[in-house]
Amino acid sequence: MTVVIRRCVGTAAFVAFAIAIAFIPGQARAVDAATVVQFTLANGLDVVVIPDHRAAVVTHMLWYRVGGADDPPGKSGVAHALEHMMFKGTRRFGPGVFSASVARHGGSENAFTTPDVTAYHQTVASDRLEMVMEMEADRMRDLVLESAAFESERLVILEERRGRSESTPGGILREQVAAAQYLNHPYRLPVIGWAHEIRAITIDDLRKFYETYYWPNNALLVVAGDHTADSVRALAEKYYGALPRGPEIVRSRTQEPPQVAPRRLEYHDTRVGQPSVQRSYLAPSSTAGEKEHSLPLLLLSDILGGGGTSRLYRELVSEKKIATSAGASYSGASLDLTQFYVYVSPAQGTDLDTAEAAMDRVIAVIRENDVTDDELTRAKKNLLASTIYARDSVTGSARLYGRVLTQGRTITDIQEFSSRVSAVTADDVKRAAQHVFDLRRSVTGRLLKGES
């Protein structure tokens, strides 16, 4: 899934192992899942507090349950454009005041839009929580949306799109593959929007979107760091609690019909330095489709293409030497059906057909045979160790809880993560592989040097 980050160039690292930061019994000394507290204010705002007293720092993160896939038809990019406009000031705090206040106190802030959510976050010294909470609550209902400011921001967004999607052949192909993967679901649209639709967004589109979705009962507040549930509750009641509950929000997205025809795309560009082939398969997520396959798919992606010891790398790069890189990726963290990717870049002297055929043979073998005990054990270890290392930052915890809870899952899912990982069998992985590796639900994208 595409994630658009407002001010950082790059992609969101947390997507890859979004499910991370589980708690391994006996070792959870820094953050203890038992101390995580969840409650809901009278106006419907969900609140999660993750106490972590290692440092006098706190991450304040407000998640709205709306993202790029909720853009109005013909107006792709509205959710993301509104995220940009959220930094333009309210009646109380003028343009730039919020950002300047955070900076003046040594804090950092950012925001991002994914297909499913829009989130705003600040990391500040723990005694500055009240300041950022007051300002974040204020802009939930009192944003000033003006045409002049939007006209200038529209140009910024178009520059962002050029840099992110249009300036490199790989960026162009990625968009084309996603658009072909989904026949009907809005995940086919780039979160940042198509250029012609970004140009067509009006200030009224933004106002309407803001008015529809930016309410306490459509949001989740996550506070991680040096605070207690009581101190956060008192502040949340004071600032967010003063806001009225909004109308009930129904998110309805068009869903995929059965996919019955494999799709193949070729993109030629004179700027291609290194040809490659990627394949995207429509895949269940942890909350959509045959979701029992989600966790096995996470392990499958590691065994198949997660690094130097993975099957694709070992066979295509290390042993047959027909590729310079090969791998797989999957994240189960999306509301609707997601994508499982495999890719390969051929070595010099190997053509793309040969590389693709070799990739398909590796997939066929893993589809028909059990993965070995060694492979499964190693993949589980990788996943669980990454969760311990990830706990080294408060922002990481806040992102995990926000991501999981806005996906409709629960704190229990996080607490049970390690035991669920341990319980996955080789048979589970094989069944997941047989389910996902169905060419009829796939898009193959080939990047080639040449005139487009």
Partner 1 sequence: MIKRILGRSGWSGVFVALVVAAWGWAVPAEAATKIIDLRTPAGHRVWFVREPALPIVSIELGFRGGTELDPPGKEGLARMVAALMDEGAGEYDSLGFQRRLEDYSVSLGFSVDRDAFRVSLRTLTENRDEAFRLLGTALSSPRFEADAAERVRGQFIADASRRNQDPDAIAAKAWFAKAFPEHPYGRSSRGEPETIKSITRIDLKTFAASRLTKSGVFVGAVGDIDPSELSFLIDRALADLPAGPAESGPVNEVIAHTPGSLTIIRHKAPQSSVILGLPGPKRNDDDFYPAFVLNYVLGGGGMTSRLYQEVREKRGLAYSVYTYLSPFRYSGLILGGFASVNDRVAESLAVVKSELVRIASEGLNERELADAKTYLTGSFPMRLDSNAKIAGTLLTMQMDGLGIDYLEKRNDYINAVTLADVRRAAVKYMKIEDLTVVVVGDPQGVGP
**Four-residue CA torsion sign, 415, 421, 427, 431:** positive
Nearer to partner 1, 65 or 164 (CB): 164
Pairing of strands 57-64, 118-125: antiparallel
Nearer to partner 1, 223 or 394 (CB): 394
**Four-residue CA torsion sign, 444, 445, 450, 452:** positive
Beta-ladder partners of 46: 40, 220
- Residues 113 and 78 sit within 8 Å (Cβ to Cβ): no
Nearer to partner 1, 106 or 247 (CB): 106
Please state, in angstroms and as integers, the Cα–Cα distance from residue 343 to each residue in 123, 260, 276, following that order: 36, 22, 7
CB of 177 to partner 1, least distance (A): 19
Nearer to partner 1, 186 or 225 (CB): 225
Maximum Cα–Cα distance across the chain: 67
Active-site residue, from 83, 160, 315, 375: 83
Nearer to partner 1, 66 or 317 (CB): 317
Q: Is 288 helix (H, G, I), strand (E, B) or coil?
A: coil
CB of 127 to partner 1, least distance (A): 9
Q: State how far the Cα of 102 lies from the Cα of 106, in Å rounded to an integer.
A: 7
> Could you give the count of Cα atoms lying within 13 Å of 234 in the half-sphere of its Cβ?
6
> Please, what is the angle between helix 97-104 and helix 129-141, to 10°?
170
Tokens of 128: 């500055």
- Residues 132 and 107 sit within 8 Å (Cβ to Cβ): yes
Nearer to partner 1, 270 or 412 (CB): 270
Beta-ladder partners of 282: 339
> Please, what is the angle between helix 147-161 and helix 78-85, to 10°?
120
- Dihedral angle of Cα 384, 8, 117, 232, to the nearest 10 degrees: 80
- Residues 91 and 142 sit within 8 Å (Cβ to Cβ): yes
Nearer to partner 1, 167 or 184 (CB): 167
Tokens of 67: 């993202």
CB of 302 to partner 1, least distance (A): 10
User: In this structure, which long-range contacts are made by residues 154-162, counting pairs with CB atoms below 8 Å and at least 24 apart in sequence?
Assistant: 154/81, 154/198, 154/199, 154/201, 156/84, 157/77, 157/80, 157/81, 157/84, 157/192, 157/193, 157/198, 158/195, 158/198, 158/199, 160/4, 160/192, 161/190, 161/192, 161/193, 161/195, 161/198
Q: Is 83 a catalytic residue?
A: yes
- Written as one string, the DSSP assignment of 79-147 is HHHHHHHTTS-BSSS-TTHHHHHHHHTT-EEEEEE-SS-EEEEEEEEGGGHHHHHHHHHHHHH-B---H
Residues of this chain that interact with partner 1 (CB under 8 A) are 7, 9, 27, 29-30, 53-57, 87, 95-96, 99-100, 103-108, 123-125, 151-160, 162-163, 166-169, 270-274, 307-309, 314, 317-318, 321, 324-325, 345, 347-348, 378, 381-382, 385, 388-389, 391-395
Nearer to partner 1, 96 or 244 (CB): 96
Nearer to partner 1, 59 or 406 (CB): 59
Residues assigned a catalytic role: 83
